[in-house]
Amino acid sequence: MNTPEEKTFAIVGAGIVGTALAILLTGAGYVCAGVHSRSAASLARFRSRLSAPALEPAALAERAALIFVTTQDEYIAQAAAGLPVRPGQWRIHCSGSLPAAVLAPPAPTPGLRCLSLHPLQSLADIDQALAILPGTHYGVEGDDAAAVDKGKELAVLLGGVPHRIEAGQKTLYHAGAVAASNYLVALTALAVRLFELAGINGEEALASLLPLLSGSCRNIARLGLPQALTGPIARGDAGVAAGHLERMPADLRPLYRGLGRLALELGREKRERAGTPYPPAVWERLEIILAEESPDGHHGV
């Protein structure tokens, strides 16, 4: 049985995202017309998972209705520029920070549409990606309403949940994603460093902290914000926060204070909802303790 032309796709950039999407699309009844990758290792890995010819971009454009450009962000525009223009074709990238317009050819092409389909997920390897992409939320942005509709359709086809993002707001959207994902890793590294300073080696520190991190994520999922906030700032225990700052290295204090100020705003909202606002003296003391350090080195501790 022949596959309808509109269900043919090609992949430019055979990394984790491109490979996982190709496998999921194939499972949903689409056919991979070909793949192109600058990396021989990535190409071999892709073809070990999915039977598809290795082709140059020009050949891919002739064979597929949907072209997924799943290279690193810095190469997306370059890869798109190397594609022949074909009216009626879809060009799709998976970047959370770049607009769909980076895929567009210099001259307007009737019927060619550009789409950004960003999986809001941290994908470390292909097997993990295949396991967690179903149920993942997708940021969808396109050059017209039809492109957005197509993105929503594809997100649902992949088992995901689509959300429309305006092109002009993608940078802030992506910054939020980075804060939730990449900076959680950095925050964990900060916690491990403090544990090491307390005499716990790094491996044991991480093993000790992982259940705490998991518990916090479960609380956020179960209770939402700001109710999931616990700890000394939520309780209004200014003395504990002051003690933390007194003992930790100076280079870590700005991070602690910045996060503390965010926690303080959450704490205020949580307590006001419960009808138990911070006593004015406690609020003032916490504000002083968590204030940015002045240029002369003075702070609130």
Domain ranges of the chain: 5-179, 182-290
| CATH number for region 5-179 | 3.40.50.720
What is the pLDDT, as a whole number, of residue 3?
62
Mean pLDDT of 19-27: 97
What is the pLDDT, as a whole number, of residue 1?
45
What is the pLDDT, as a whole number, of residue 296?
53
Q: Which residues contact 97 (CB under 8 A, 6 or more apart)?
A: 73, 170, 171, 174
Mean pLDDT of 240-255: 96
Beta bridge partners of 35: 11, 54
Q: What is the share, in percent, of the chain residues with pLDDT greater than 90?
A: 87
What is the pLDDT, as a whole number, of residue 108?
80
Read off the pTM.
0.86
Mean pLDDT of 217-221: 96
User: CA torsion 134→42→181→253, rounded to 10°?
Assistant: 170
pLDDT digits (tens, 9 = 90+) for 103-159: 999 888 888 999 999 999 999 899 999 999 999 999 999 988 999 999 999 999 999
pLDDT digits (tens, 9 = 90+) for 170-187: 999 999 999 999 999 999
What is the pLDDT, as a whole number, of residue 2?
57
CA pair distance 92, 229, nearest whole angstrom: 39
